[in-house]
Structure formats: C-alpha cells, structure tokens
Amino acid sequence: MTPHDALPVHVEASLRNVNDVLLGIGGLGYTICYLLMARQSIRDRTYAMPLFSLAFNFGWEIVFALYVAVEVREQVIFTIWMLIDVGLVYTTVRYGANEWRHAPAVGRNIGKIFTGMLAWWCVALYAVSVWWLDVENPVNPKAGKAYKGVVGIDTNELGFWTALVAQVVLSVMSLAQIMVRGSSRGSSYSIWTTRFVGSLSGLNLNYGYCWWVWPEAHGYYTNPIVVLMMVTWVLADLGYLIVLCGRVARAQALATCIPLNIHPLVLVCKRAMSTSDDEDLKLAMAMSLQQIPPTASNEVIDLTSVSDDEDEHLRRAIALSQQESAKSDALQPDVATTTSTAAFFKGIDRKAMEQERLARLGKRKRDPSPEEPSKQAARSTLSKSSERPTLQYSKGAIKRTFATKYPRTDDITIDELLEASDVNVAVISSFMWDSNWLYKKLDPVKVKQVWLMNVKGGDVQKRYLQDMKESGVPNLKIHFPPLNGIVHCMHSKFMLLFGNKKLRIAVPTANMTPIDWGEVENNWQPGVMENSVFLIDLPRRGDGSVAKSEDLTPFGRELVYFLEQQKVEQKVIDGLLKFDFSQTVHLAFVHSMNLQLTHYSGGSHKTEPEHPTGLSGLTQAIRDLRLDSVKDIELDYAASSLGAINDTLLRRIYLAACGESSITNTPTPNLRNHIRIYFPTNETVEKSIGGPECGGIISLTKQYYNASTFPKECLRDYDSTRRGMLSHNKLLFARGRKKDGKPFAWVYVGSANISESAWGGQKVLKSGKMGSLNIRNWECGVVMPVSDGKLEHLKLGEGEVPPMAVFEGTAEVPYRFPGDKYGGKQPWFFRPG
C-alpha cells in the first residue's frame, strides 16, 4: 500500500493503518532475524541463510531500495536490511568453506560463487521490475493504484510476487540445509520465530487483509499458484521447527550421555561432523541404562593361545588382580553412577552372538574342516616347517592414517592395520576409547582382547571392573597401568596383534576413536583429524621356543621392559617372546614412565637406571642406533599439545636428539634457530574441516604461551598437506651431519608431545649432577632412521643437512614445509568443553 493509492469509497481508510502495522511487524521481525543470524553465524562459525537464498534476498533489497521504492521509510528499511546483509555475506565468505568439505572447490571459491549469484539476481530482479513498471505498458494495471504519478501501475503486486518467491526459496532451502547439516549450527529458536512471524505478518496476513477489504486490487491473492506457494513456505517453516527441535533435543540428550574414556571434546567433534540421526540414536542407546544380564564366569583368557575353539571364544575374562585403592586424581573424569561406565562396555548383541556360535558349532559337527587344524597340529606344522610366512611389514614402516574423501597416499586404514580376520589376541593401549566402534573393528566374540586404560584411583578402577563384568562383553580384559604419586596420565598408545603366523606391533599417535583414524559418521564428509602409526610384522621363532628378554634386540628389550613396568600379565610377555625380533635391530623403542615400581617413589628418578626413560631413553636410543657424534642437526617437531616449553627443555630435547646427556659441556647453538615446532594457529583450526569443535584435543594454554620464556620464534603453523585437516600427530623429524661429515636422518613417532610431563622434567644441580627426573605420563614411541642407501647419494655442501625430502619412503611428512611463522597470528588455545 502506497500513499498515492486512491482508495475506493467502499474501502475503509483504516486499511492504511492496518497495512502499516502488519508491514511494520514484518519489517521489524526480519530486521531482528537478520541480526540474530549474523550473531549465530559468528558463534557457530558457519552461515545461517542458504547461499542461494542470501543472494536472492540481497539482490531483492538492492533493486527495491535503489530502483523500485519511492517512499523514504521503505528505502530506509531496505537499506538497513542491505547493511545487515553485509554481515551475513561476511560470515558466508568467512566460514562458508566449513560447510562444503564434501566439495572443496565450492568451499575455496564460495565468495566468487556468491558474487556471481548476487549479480544474476540483481540483473533478473531489475529486468522484472523494468518490465512490470513500464509506463507505456505496465503489467496488470489497476484502478486506484499509482506509481510516480502514473495511474494504474501496482508496485504492491510486484513486491508481493517477488517477495513470495524469495520466501518459498528461503523456507524450502533452510529446511534442506538443517537436514543436511544434521545439527542446529547457524540456527536458533529466536531466528525461526522472528523469521516466521515476520513473513506471516508481512506476506500472508497483510496481503490477505488487503484482499479482504479491497478484492478488486488484490485478486491475485487467491490465485491457485499463490495459495500453493503460501502453503508451501508455511509447511516448510513448520517442518524446519520440528527438525530444529529434534536437533536441539538430541544434542542435549547426547551431552548427558558421555561415556568414560571418550573425551567430551571428541564427542563434540563427533556430533558436529554427524548428519545421521540413526548413528546418534545408536550412540545414545549404547549409553542407556539398560542392563544386560551377566553370566557368572571367573575363567581367565589364555593370552598366548591361538585356538579356534568356539566355546573358548565365548568365555569372558573378568578375573583381574585388584590394584591398591587410591584417591581419584582431580584430572580424572568423575564417575557419577555405575551405569555410566557399564554403558561404556555395552553394545554387544548377546543373542546374535549365541546364534552365531551355535551355527558355527553345528557346521563344525556336520563337517570337520581340514582347513582348521587343532592347536597341536598347528604348533607341529610351525615347528617342522622351514619356510617363513611372507610378511608385509617385516622391516617396519611409518604410515599416515587414512582420511575419508582424501586421495590415498602412503596411508593405512584402521581395518588394514588390524587385519581382524588374522588376529587371535589383541593387546591395545590408548588414552581415549570408543568401545562400540572398536567392537565393530575387533569382534570380542572372535578376538580375545586386553585394553590398557587411563583410569586412576582404586575405587574408580574397581567400578570399571565391576561394570565390565556386568556388561557381559566376552573375551575382554581391562588393565590399568600404575598411576601413583605424581604420575597422572596413561597416555601411551600401542597394539600387539597376535596371529597364528605373525605378531604385528603398532605404535600410533591416534587414540582408539573413529575421528583419530579418519572415519566419519556419513559417506559424504571428509575426515577431520590425521595421525601416524609405526607398524612391524614379526614372524614366530623358527624353533618354536620362547626367547629370553635379555637376548632380544634393544627394541625388543625395551618393549618387554615397558610392558613389565605397566604390570601387563606375564602371559602377554610370554606370548611376545615367541616371536622373532631380529629384524628390529635398526629400530629403537623409546618410553617415558615412572620407575617407582622398581627403585623410586612418586615418579622421580635420581640415578641413571638400567633402562633409561624419557629424554634419557631417547639419548640411549640414538646411541644404540649409532646416530650420535653429531656436528649439525635440525629438528622439526609436530605436536598436538604444548606444555610450558622453555630454552631448558629445548636444550634437553636437542641434546637427546644428538645422543648426548643433559649434563654435557658441549656448547649448543642458538636452539631457537634449529628447532621448529609445528602447531596450528587459531585461524587454521577455525578454517579446518572439523572447525573449533574438533580442536579440543589440540592443547596449549595462554598461560604457557604468554610466558616470557616460551620460545615463540620456534612456532610454525601446522598446515596439513591434506587441506583442512587437523593433526593429532607427534612426529619428530631429525636431519643432520655427523662429526665425520656423514649425513643422517631419523624420525620419532609415538605418543609424546612437547612437555616435561611427557619427556620428564629434570634440573642440573649446582654440583653438576642431574636432579630428580619427574615424569607424569606413560608414553611410548619408535625411532626409525632413514636408510644409509638413501643418504649416501646426497650431495651436500659445507654446513648443509639433508632436505626434508630425504624422508620420502620412510615417513610421509604430513605438513607443509617450511611452515609459515606465526608473525602476528595467535596459536590455537585450549578451550575446555
């Protein structure tokens, strides 16, 4: 309704007032809605309005503000909307790539794509307006209507048709957007309310009232296509509300269903990447309070057995020696109820397991297969055969973890690593777990398993044991390495996968969660987190004997010693000693541990132990591998967590990498010029595929970073060669020249980040001797050198060290080198969930 309209005598003048009120409500509603959209987009680091709709609305406001509108109030309102739209456009360009991981080309060019859409809509709407407002031949002229002094031209109908089409597009695309995203990112109840009320008032009610009192000028309101479009957008918006309620309710339900040993921030990332209601429901059901009747059993798994006996596969190992009770550490997650931990172990369909067992048993009775020999026959065959099986990784390898939707390189999936069909017993250590996911990878019915878990406090450990027993999961034992004194974290990660013919040893940087292994909740999203893993296949000993630990290679001795200190059951170690470690002579197993179990207390070591640990262990490893006697060395360390780093810690790492003791008098260069630390900037995490929701396991506090002693010059942005990936890697690449001029290069892969908690804090006393070595974490890793054959062909000038390309074929460097210095950028800071 315009002031120039001449109302017929039968139309009451109050129409103008009602029209102003309804349009005012609509305009105010959309103004608030746009502001809320901009705020929510910034909060969620996404964009609220669908791309196509935003271009349509923005183009509509530009054309109507600059060309169609003649009233000042309309021009002001449209201009305000245009200015707010600039904020919406900013969030689209700034965060839009986060929503187009399945189509990276769109994400990279989203600004250009939007600009093209906006230009098209501006031209299209301008063309329609010029056609409609043609003075000589206006579209659908009406008595009583006027525009710029020309009688008959109806701008109200022009505005109605264009706004209605824009509304249908917005409502339908918004519904599609929230369904595809699978979460309420960019949405809120207030956004929906203001948009729905604004549209209902400004379109349906306003034009409906105009038709009611002045039908001659508003007959188009009852056009069948108009009715269809009005019903369509209303139903789409109501459907949007229903979906939004479901998304919010699911998020709230899942927030209260976090199983122990899965870090809350990992679940946040998992939910942020999920678009599957079914998967979320499965997660909620797995953590429900339903009870599975336990079956009494106190039988212990034979961890060295390779028997295929079906009845034995169904036995459960619940007997585990009780550790001495201790108070829970403040850092350990609280356990509110026994059902919360019980839910962690559930997820096994006992009925299906029993049916599967009976089917296999019946088949075996009907047809004893010669392909499944007895245990005795298998052992006899192994002892008599002079041929050794062909092993895929007989010399060891370092692999990058698989990432969904990225090209396969020198990577490996969790399934390729586990080779579940060939595994009889699996001993797995991890800091965090997703038990239901792991059950699918390693079926407890078929594979006997021991899980080493990060649980501190005797009371909590007893609760875990009881809940596991009640869960009824077969063939699973849980074990808690000692966490006494200052030691608060079991952070080590490894796998011992025992098969009939080989033992696969794996040392990953990844936890036992799908996110860490590059898997996603649906089939169109790419992976969000990358890791690395060392693995090696060892054959059984040719004579079938059990070796002595002292006769093993240094790699084997340190691995056995590490397991002994973790109080792993002797049967596991005995099983380990049945395999041939001779092909590990070129490798080193490095650990960090608290030696209080043997000589000391509280995790402090005051003398040089027989088995050096922490940075002393790295020093010994470099010496054993004859990588010491270093003249020049360059270190590139990628980590997912940084502690209170200072020059003292850098010097100790540098000397350990040179194979020298921390109390050496050897002068060191300006370390900050020779050590680079790869850690993501805040911008890198925000722009990553998973976004800030998946940055929770990447940790650095402002307190550490802002300390005057923190070596900021060493920091480089971790920019993955897989665009948009975050990293949970712990990789130390070393390149250098020995004093005799010979080049060398090696890489450490394991669980140790850059902190004194991981490598040990130790001070040099005034006497020149080393003070107490304080280690707070259990850690482990492997040092793997680049072969001499790869190095001997290098042509290096004076003072030059091998390039990073030297690691090709040994370990894939997962980040862009050389990384960008931070400059004025800030690192990603830890944000508690």
Percentage of the chain surpassing pLDDT 70? 79
- Give CA–CA dist 738/678, Å, rounded: 25
Find tokens 């040990």 and name the residue: 760
Q: How confident is the model at residue 4 (pLDDT cuts 50, 70, 90)?
A: low
**DSSP state letters, 365-384:** HH---TTS--HHHHHHHHHH
User: For the ranges 445-454, 480-489, 597-606, which has the lowest average pLDDT?
Assistant: 597-606
- Give CA–CA dist 58/40, Å, rounded: 19
Convert the pLDDT of each residue in 14-30 to its tens digit. 888 998 899 999 999 99
- Give CA–CA dist 671/537, Å, rounded: 38
Provide the annotated active-site residues. 491, 728
User: For the ranges 317-331, 394-408, 437-451, 595-609, which has the lowest average pLDDT?
Assistant: 317-331
Cis check: omega of the bond before 259, within 30 degrees of 0 = no
Q: How confident is the model at residue 289 (pLDDT cuts 50, 70, 90)?
A: very low
| Res 152: pLDDT | 86
User: For the ranges 97-106, 266-275, 376-385, 438-447, which has the lowest average pLDDT?
Assistant: 376-385
Tokens, residue 430: 């991890």
β-sheet bridge partners, residue 537? 504
| Res 127: pLDDT | 96
Residue 730 is labelled as binding a ligand: yes
- Give CA–CA dist 674/719, Å, rounded: 20
For residue 281, what are the CA distances in angstroms to 254, 302, 347, 526, 717?
A: 9, 36, 13, 22, 38
Angle in degrees, CA 124, 128, 133, rounded to 5: 150
Helices (H), 349-441: 350-366, 375-384, 414-418, 435-441
**Is the pLDDT reported for residue 808 higher than 90?**
yes
CB crowding 111-147: b at 16 or more within 10 Å, else e: eebbeebbeebbeebbebbeebbeeeebeeebebbbb
Residues ≥6 apart with Cβ < 8 Å to 490: 429, 431, 452, 453, 454, 455, 480, 481, 483, 777, 778
Helices (H), 442-530: 458-471
| Phi, psi torsion values for 588, nearest 5 degrees | -135, 135
The tally of CA atoms less than 13 A away on the side-chain side of residue 413 is 13
Element (H, E) at 631: strand 630-638
Convert the pLDDT of each residue in 644-660 to its tens digit. 999 999 999 999 999 99
More confident residue, 288 or 571: 571
| Res 543: pLDDT | 83
**Is the pLDDT reported for residue 616 higher than 50?**
yes
Residues ≥6 apart with Cβ < 8 Å to 325: 457, 458, 459, 462
User: Taking residues 151-159, what's their average pLDDT?
Assistant: 90
User: Taking residues 551-577, what's their average pLDDT?
Assistant: 95
What is the chain's percent helix, strand, coil content, to nearest 5? 45, 15, 40
- Between helix 72-95 and helix 14-44 the angle, nearest 10°, is 20
| Res 768: pLDDT | 63
Residue 365 is labelled as binding a ligand: no
| Res 693: pLDDT | 83
**Is the pLDDT reported for residue 769 higher than 90?**
no
Instruction: Judge whether 41 and 88 are in contact, CB under 8 Å.
Output: yes
End-to-end CA distance of the chain: 52
**Is the pLDDT reported for residue 267 higher than 70?**
no
Q: How confident is the model at residue 799 (pLDDT cuts 50, 70, 90)?
A: confident
User: Taking residues 288-310, what's their average pLDDT?
Assistant: 36
- Give CA–CA dist 97/108, Å, rounded: 6
Instruction: Judge whether 403 and 530 are in contact, CB under 8 Å.
Output: yes
Instruction: Judge whether 343 and 439 are in contact, CB under 8 Å.
Output: no
- Give CA–CA dist 47/60, Å, rounded: 19
| Res 544: pLDDT | 81
- Give CA–CA dist 29/35, Å, rounded: 10
User: Taking residues 549-561, what's their average pLDDT?
Assistant: 95
**Is the pLDDT reported for residue 272 higher than 80?**
no
User: For the ranges 9-13, 119-123, 166-170, 672-676, which has the lowest average pLDDT?
Assistant: 9-13
Q: How confident is the model at residue 181 (pLDDT cuts 50, 70, 90)?
A: confident
- Give CA–CA dist 342/466, Å, rounded: 8
Q: How confident is the model at residue 469 (pLDDT cuts 50, 70, 90)?
A: confident
Q: How confident is the model at residue 325 (pLDDT cuts 50, 70, 90)?
A: very low
788 C-beta neighbours (distance < 10 Å), count: 11
**Is the pLDDT reported for residue 508 higher than 90?**
yes
Convert the pLDDT of each residue in 449-466 to its tens digit. 999 999 888 888 888 888
Query: Would you give the DSSP letter of residue 95?
Result: H
Tokens, residue 771: 């003070």
Convert the pLDDT of each residue in 513-540 to its tens digit. 999 999 987 766 789 999 999 999 999 9
